[in-house]
Amino acid sequence: MERWRGKVAIVTGTSSGIGAAIATDLVKHGLQVVGLARRVDRTKELASELKNEAGILLPLKCDISKEEEILSAFVYVNEELGGADILVNNAGVLNESLLGEGLTEEWSSMLNTNILGLSICTREAIKSMKQRNIDQGHIVHINSIAGHYDLDKPGYHMYSATKHAVTALTEGLRKELVSQGSKIRVTSISPGLVNTEMIRVGMKIEDVEELLKNKPCLKPSDVSDVVMYVLGSPSHVQIVEVTMKSVGEINL
């Protein structure tokens, strides 16, 4: 991770959970981390907690489902910080919604954040890197094991579809960059069940806390550990996909 010290990383969805854990670890490794979040006050609190660490967390209000806010965030990064070296697409939306009965707005929120928002952030990060002839940048998608097979429980198939799209986009971008002779790396990290606020908000289960207590699940820090490993790998190594589950976890 030493080669990233002082570099600029953008992390989406830093108000809680996995995004907050990743932002924290990157700051501790000495990076300038731009934390994009709708609830920016939470990221500001985290920034205050990290003020004595080697790097710095710069909170920025941004709704990843809105292109104009993403573009504004990248203008700030490019003009004030010199551009992005790392992008971690972590922000995501989970809505339990049946395919035969679900609400269009529930589907739209997942599609707009999980696919379009991720794609717009990726496009702008790639442009930022190429404009500065940065050929050692890294794009990390926080995907899901739901992007590799169909879930058993009804209500999560639209979410699964968005994550299957991330899997396809990761490999598509990797091949595109290779065809252009670029050494910018792209990685998809696909965790199983993680104990996060998104699960509590998105799952229509009577007692989510009871589920999380009785079902093996990962911690946000577990996912962040893998992100640090991927970023810290030698520059000639391309880690394309990482899947991870807690010991004893079965499919949802």
Render pLDDT for 172-224 as a digit per residue (tens, 0 to 9).
Answer: 999 999 999 999 999 999 999 898 876 666 566 655 666 667 778 899 999 99
Burial 35-50 (b: 16+ CB within 10 A, else e): bbbbebebbbebbeeb
**CA 206 vs CA 48, 150, 155, 183: distances in Å:** 35, 23, 15, 47
Write out the two tokens for 54.
């080697």
* Confidence check: pLDDT of 106 > 70: yes
What is the rounded average pLDDT of the residues 83-92? 98
Summarised one tens digit per residue, pLDDT across range 118-164 is: 999 999 999 999 999 988 899 999 999 999 988 888 888 999 999 99
Q: Residue 159 catalytic?
A: yes
Which of 76, 149, 156, 159 does the annotation list as catalytic? 159
Q: Which of 9, 60, 66 is nearest to 39 (CA)?
A: 60
Longest Cα separation, the chain = 52
Return the pLDDT at 3: 93
Summarised one tens digit per residue, pLDDT across range 48-75 is: 999 999 999 999 999 999 999 999 999 9
Q: Which of 215, 206, 94 is nearest to 157 (CA)?
A: 94
> Among 98-102, 104-108, 150-154, whose mean pLDDT is lowest?
150-154
Round to whole Å and give the CA distance between 51 and 55: 8
**88 contacts 101 by C-beta, under 8 angstroms:** no
At 10, is the secondary structure helix, strand, or coil? strand
Return the pLDDT at 195: 84
Q: How much is the pTM?
A: 0.93
Write out the two tokens for 206.
């009577």
**41 contacts 14 by C-beta, under 8 angstroms:** no
**CA 211 vs CA 26, 29, 87, 93: distances in Å:** 31, 34, 32, 19
